[in-house]
Amino acid sequence: MFKKILIANRGEIAMRVIRTCKEMGIKSVAVYSTADAESLHVRFADEAVCIGPAPSSESYLKMSNIIAAAEITNADAIHPGYGFLSENAKFSKICEEHEIKFIGASAEMIDRMGDKASAKSTMIEAGVPCVPGSEGVIPDFETCIKVAKETGYPVMLKASAGGGGKGMRAVWKKEDLQNAWESARQESKAAFGNDDMYMEKLIEEPRHIEIQIVGDSNGRACHLSERDCSVQRRHQKLTEETPSPFMTDELREEMGKAAVKAAEYIKYEGAGTVEFLVDKHRNFYFMEMNTRIQVEHPITEQVVDYDLIREQILVAAGVPISGKNYYPQLHSIECRINAEDPYKDFRPSPGKITNLHLPGGHGVRIDTHVYSGYTIPPNYDSMIAKLITTAQTREEAINKMKRALDEFVVEGIKTTVPFHRQLMDHPDYVSGDYTTKFMEDFEMEEPKDD
């Protein structure tokens, strides 16, 4: 078992990993930028190393400085968290070359799942349901026209190097295809240095339902059921829940089996997530596979009583999984609390938190790194806390979320707490009848002058 793990991340996920390390008797090393010198993960870790100035490119993305920090502290493993270098194949490789265990996917696996067209081809080979469309990357526009005709409009053009919606275009009729093809390729080239495109039949008003999986070094995998992540704004998840209000026991079995089949086919090791698009008839289709722990992992932990970070560490240390699958015994909802102003188009609101009161009580979990007096630096993403409520039923979990949001006090900056409080009263959310289109029509009600 590892003696010392370096957490190559910051914020709440660094706190999350440090906590599990402590429970497992593993020493922890925090790395931080000069902007994070006063951040909580620095204080909670056993050791802390400054790896550079505020810009991520000079610190949390600076592979040489992170490896150097691991060397001088004699860490035998690195946990990358999510974002930053968590799905960086080069970094995974460099860790391997330095004989530092990367608690994540191998470089080959990251590359294979990071290239969306190749990931899809792999899933087709594995027998995982995929959206009909092109066989891999489309070589030229003539082929694009032909594939669109065969697929039938509307179609979705997607960047193979993409993900999260970048370089993606919905095309409803033939005359719009050329503009979409050219603008999507330009966007993808600019964002990823690669303009390979593939095409799929457009799934109208889909839900985003993902399955958590864990694979071990013996090539076995299990699933821990689903998370519904359909409430998104500009491809940023805002809130997630499990079980999905759209799920049936049969669909859960089918999607779980498909996700395990995918993981075992590629001999996936570690925690991963297989994302699916689900249409209104409950047909599901492979969308992407994420080779990292995800922001929303706590709701799964809450309903199956399982520590996913602990499992990541055990699997990375060669411990086999039990092999059983896990099904939700409770209902859990996560609200991502961001330092953004929902009354002003969710624009960022960094600054000093002058007063903070965190909610608590039965069934309330908060994963956060902030504290009263903490100054949120403008350099990193805006999430400051994850508020998670868990109860026997969805109604009780929503009710608990409303009560917790009403208790949540953050002064000195704006946050998305008021947005989530209004969301919990929205009839389509409360009924569970929402898709990825939900936020397109959502309007904040102006604050009542209380």
How far is the C-alpha of 224 from the C-alpha of 291, rounded, in Å? 15
> Which of residues 246 and 326 has its CB atom nearest to ligand MV4 in the complex?
246
Q: Is 347 exposed, middle or buried (0-12, 13-18, 19+ CB in 10 A)?
A: exposed
How far is the C-alpha of 107 from the C-alpha of 124, rounded, in Å? 22
DSSP strand pairing (4-7 vs 27-33): parallel
Q: Is 22 exposed, middle or buried (0-12, 13-18, 19+ CB in 10 A)?
A: middle
Provide the minimum distance between the beta carbon of 291 and ligand MV4 in the complex, in angstroms, as a whole number.
Answer: 15
Give the residues across from 375 on adjacent strands.
Answer: 352
Q: Is 125 exposed, middle or buried (0-12, 13-18, 19+ CB in 10 A)?
A: exposed
> Which of residues 77 and 209 has its CB atom nearest to ligand MV4 in the complex?
209
Provide the minimum distance between the beta carbon of 285 and ligand MV4 in the complex, in angstroms, as a whole number.
Answer: 7
Q: 10 Å Cβ neighbour count for 437?
A: 13
> Which of residues 156 and 224 has its CB atom nearest to ligand MV4 in the complex?
156
> Which of residues 153 and 306 has its CB atom nearest to ligand MV4 in the complex?
153
Provide the minimum distance between the beta carbon of 226 and ligand MV4 in the complex, in angstroms, as a whole number.
Answer: 14
> Which of residues 203 and 370 has its CB atom nearest to ligand MV4 in the complex?
203
Provide the minimum distance between the beta carbon of 232 and ligand MV4 in the complex, in angstroms, as a whole number.
Answer: 5
Q: And the tokens for 14?
A: 């660094």
| First-residue to last-residue Cα distance in the chain | 55
Which residues neighbour 442 within 8 Å (Cβ) at sequence distance 6 or greater? 423, 426
Provide the minimum distance between the beta carbon of 208 and ligand MV4 in the complex, in angstroms, as a whole number.
Answer: 4
Provide the minimum distance between the beta carbon of 430 and ligand MV4 in the complex, in angstroms, as a whole number.
Answer: 20
Q: Residue 383 — φ and ψ, nearest 5°?
A: -70, 130
Orientation angle between helical segments 308-316 and 297-304, nearest 10 degrees: 100
> Which of residues 16 and 116 has its CB atom nearest to ligand MV4 in the complex?
116
Provide the minimum distance between the beta carbon of 86 and ligand MV4 in the complex, in angstroms, as a whole number.
Answer: 17
Provide the minimum distance between the beta carbon of 148 and ligand MV4 in the complex, in angstroms, as a whole number.
Answer: 13
Active site residue: 207, 292, 336, 365, which one?
Answer: 292
Residue 105 and residue 268 in contact, taking contact as beta carbons nearer than 8 Å: yes
> Which of residues 188 and 436 has its CB atom nearest to ligand MV4 in the complex?
436
How far is the C-alpha of 174 from the C-alpha of 154, rounded, in Å? 9
How far is the C-alpha of 259 from the C-alpha of 288, rounded, in Å? 11
Provide the minimum distance between the beta carbon of 383 and ligand MV4 in the complex, in angstroms, as a whole number.
Answer: 18
Q: Is 292 a catalytic residue?
A: yes
Which residues neighbour 168 within 8 Å (Cβ) at sequence distance 6 or greater? 156, 157, 158, 159, 162, 184
Q: Where are the alpha helices (DSSP H) in 129-226?
A: 141-151, 177-192
Q: 10 Å Cβ neighbour count for 305?
A: 9
> Which of residues 92 and 151 has its CB atom nearest to ligand MV4 in the complex?
151
Residue of 307, 295, 397 whose CA lies nearest to 337: 295
> Which of residues 56 and 232 has its CB atom nearest to ligand MV4 in the complex?
232
Count of residues making up the chain = 450
> Which residues make up the interface to ligand MV4 (CB under 6 A)?
131, 156, 164-165, 168, 200-203, 206, 208, 232, 235, 277, 287-288, 436
Mind telling me the catalytic residues? 292
